[in-house]
Structure 1
């Protein structure tokens, strides 16, 4: 049989093969043998009446089909007829991998209107931003349940409905703000999708057969906002004024917060806590802040030789005294840490941080918290020298000069004779062990590594030291405030992050042009937090575009 079919296809061609396989009933003007007049239809015994017969167009009659009225319709019909109609009888959609599912969901390929597993009507108001780090897949989304007010939160997408439990989302605090669980495969059991606080999360099962065949993985982190067109139409100077205004507001808010902390803990403790949090980066900011609070600066400085040991001990990095688990090059250093930790261990046992506080998996090796902890220990030990490096706020211009990449340039050569600046202080931090190691258990590096890189120093200057200086005089119009802003606006942008990229995608059509300075980056972040993150109407009710049009 297979041989005969192959022979037919080769001799008659594919169109004749189809015509031979599915014979068409011709129209007759006379009645049939039973006295009934047959209906004039193509292939009534091959396809139902209401189903379009693909063979008509495949067999060469598409150009004569009167139903095709426009080029668009002709192409659509050509595209449809190129697919074998019988495919639905035996074709089972293949489940894409989870990354493709996320991309297609975010692109809107599944639509925006669904029915939950319990029968509730679910409307997606905004898909939010695509989170490519730990936690829910989409943040800052908004949904509407049964025509109610929009609910803002996170959306998680899994292959199976069971994944909510098997992946540990039910007990993970990061999923506490989840408002929707989307999945593809429904198991035989019903699952109560809950958060850690036992709040129910609606579930939606998406249909893969509704997907368009074409797929592009080039999906941005966020959707362009409605404000892109007004921003693009504004002159460059006006956009700069808006960004500067937002940046000044953000700087003032940080200064107010630090001022409050100074009033509570004093200048040195407040500054130490802020720098510690900055050294923790986004992933371990809380852990470093807890360390600085549990081991205050004045307490650490009572026993300078043991500062590093106490920090590593309370951080929970000295849980085993067995030196055999360490590399040969590490054992002597760990022995020194333990020698300093033993006298304080019993008294500080209750202060040791739990292991779950640390987020290590998403951290670059060079930014491992153990390396940053060593830098914090040096900072605490050399605190008087660091305080001297903080020039008088009025002369802050000299305190923030970055050495030029050209060693013969005036700024570089002039900096040699100046008082030690915060930038040079952090850049010159040295440690005989951590300059060549990523962690306590890693192999030594062949190349020397800086304890704190240029981008982290820039972040400390912008987000800690400038607000700290401004906290001395919260009046931004004073001589101090004016001087600070002039120097702050000169800081080059040396660091980007996921939130900044998302903000630029949402708001800024000329992102490269307006993201060259720290001030403009901070201004864009402030606008994103004040407007984009507060909106749950997918830009429809956001007032920012109209306010931008009125800005002078």
Structure 2
């Protein structure tokens, strides 16, 4: 039997995850570091551990040189320096803000095609203990949520506070976040009108994170008035999908016969309705496929938007018809409307080229509907002519946003690793977590162990 030759590093028990933990954890990271050129480096903050597509750590801060020069940006970690080019990062725009490239060993000439201003740090020569022993102590599954890079100022201030204090803080922050969002929707309604505002904001919400910008561009190019003029949900689907550049070539051999028939129908509808578009439309290269769940396929989400806004009366008219004084009834009505879209093709397909599935999947599930309700529909409703006295009832009645990576990180930074889950159970508390995280914990707003909470937090007494 032939045994394949391994790179020396491949036989070690160290993985990229181990190296990420060493960089992230102050208890593991060497105090003395230099760049591969010998310039001193001090890590102020290792960055926010990124569990999605892109660099390993976001918004890191380091001091380089003597006297120290502050450097802020992203961090990418590899076992071998050559992995930068091997993984295709030099041609990926998501890595353009990388300012520190951390490796186990220094690379050899020629120099890597790193972004301008990016510094290289090789950790192996600075480890004071045998690498295998360090790796034996690292539980890679506890990072990043069970480990923090350093104690945070937020956690220190709140650690001795009673649960009543923490609950009041989260709810106050949640109200602040929701009221600021309502003010934003008030300005948008004055600028674009109530119906157009709801359409644009729901379109952006359908883009989730990675495709929010592309969805906005489609909504700006295809106004609600243009979409309504298309003539029904199917024609609206053709207009949105065509404007997004997501209609496939019917001759594509990867398409099933069912997908090919659907594509031809939409192409026929799009071709006769396609006007001269003034705004630039997104192309296929503007849509991000990395780190995207199959249910978030943009063409599926656009079909849902067409079913919301293509018929007459549209979603905004159906929601506006709900009684103003019944917040609970409005929320139930809104959830029914958001999860209502049914498309026989997209309920059984993840993508244009995927095979048909036996079990249908809703275009908009309950979790995504709750997120859209909290971030868009409720602020849109409360920004209207209804009295603001409805706000508190809506805040108390709205369902909690699904637990996600941002909420998990925020809970650990703000409340510590051993907080009771009941503190974060309500919708208002989860909005408060995001508010505190975004305003006081993000490194871009100040390093975690130097940030300051609002004065009211320190002075409040239960």
Q: Same fold (TM over 0.5)?
A: yes
Q: Indicate conservation of the 8 Å contact 1:279/1:285, yes or no.
A: yes
For residues 214 and 521 of structure 1, do their structure 2 counterparts lie closer, same or farther at Cα, with a shift above 3 Å needed? same
Deviation at 1:296, TM superposition (A): 0.7
Deviation at 1:530, TM superposition (A): 1.0
Output one character per residue of 1:138-184: Cα deviation in whole Å (capped at 9) or x when no partner: 12322111353644322111223333344343443323432311112
For residues 314 and 248 of structure 1, do their structure 2 counterparts lie closer, same or farther at Cα, with a shift above 3 Å needed? same
Q: Which has the higher contact order (CA 8 A, sep 6+)?
A: 2
How far apart are the structure 2 equivalents of 1:92 and 1:368?
36
Q: Does 1:517 align with 2:426?
A: yes
Aligned to 1:101: 19
Aligned to 2:72: 152
Q: Does 1:117 align with 2:46?
A: no
How far apart are the structure 1 equivalents of 2:455 and 2:46?
23
Mapping of residues 283-294 of structure 1, within 5 Å: 283-294=210-221
Moved more, 541-550 or 425-434: 541-550
Mapping of residues 361-440 of structure 1, within 5 Å: 361-382=290-311, 384-386=313-315, 387-390=317-320, 391-401=322-332, 421-440=333-352
Output one character per residue of 1:275-316: Cα deviation in whole Å (capped at 9) or x when no partner: 011112112211211111111110111122421111111222
Deviation at 1:432, TM superposition (A): 1.8
Deviation at 1:135, TM superposition (A): 1.1
How far apart are the structure 1 equivalents of 2:380 and 2:155?
34
For residues 121 and 140 of structure 1, do their structure 2 counterparts lie closer, same or farther at Cα, with a shift above 3 Å needed? same
Deviation at 1:119, TM superposition (A): 2.4
For residues 527 and 96 of structure 1, do their structure 2 counterparts lie closer, same or farther at Cα, with a shift above 3 Å needed? same
Q: Does 1:138 align with 2:57?
A: yes
Deviation at 1:511, TM superposition (A): 5.1
How far apart are the structure 2 equivalents of 1:349 and 1:166?
40
For residues 259 and 346 of structure 1, do their structure 2 counterparts lie closer, same or farther at Cα, with a shift above 3 Å needed? closer
For residues 372 and 120 of structure 1, do their structure 2 counterparts lie closer, same or farther at Cα, with a shift above 3 Å needed? same
* Larger of the two Rg values belongs to structure: 1
Aligned to 1:330: 259
Count of residues in correspondence between the two structures:
436
Q: Indicate conservation of the 8 Å contact 1:454/1:494, yes or no.
A: no
CA RMSD of aligned residues (A): 2.8
Aligned to 2:243: 314
Q: Indicate conservation of the 8 Å contact 2:152/2:449, yes or no.
A: no
Output one character per residue of 1:202-254: Cα deviation in whole Å (capped at 9) or x when no partner: 11111165432532212224615233243232222222221122111111221
For residues 323 and 357 of structure 1, do their structure 2 counterparts lie closer, same or farther at Cα, with a shift above 3 Å needed? closer
Deviation at 1:518, TM superposition (A): 1.7
How far apart are the structure 2 equivalents of 1:245 and 1:124?
34
Aligned to 1:540: 449
Aligned to 1:178: 98
Secondary structure of 2:268's counterpart equals helix
Deviation at 1:337, TM superposition (A): 0.8
Mapping of residues 455-494 of structure 1, within 5 Å: 455-472=367-384, 480-494=387-401
Secondary structure of 1:227's counterpart equals helix
Output one character per residue of 1:105-155: Cα deviation in whole Å (capped at 9) or x when no partner: 223423243111222211011222211111110123221113536443221
How far apart are the structure 1 equivalents of 2:376 and 2:279?
30
Q: Indicate conservation of the 8 Å contact 1:394/1:480, yes or no.
A: no
**Structure 1 residue ranges without an equivalent (≥5):** 1-89, 402-420, 474-478
Please give the TM-score of this superposition, normalised by the length of structure 2: 0.86
**Structure 2 residue ranges without an equivalent (≥5):** 1-7
Deviation at 1:98, TM superposition (A): 1.7
Aligned to 1:408: none
Secondary structure of 2:60's counterpart equals strand
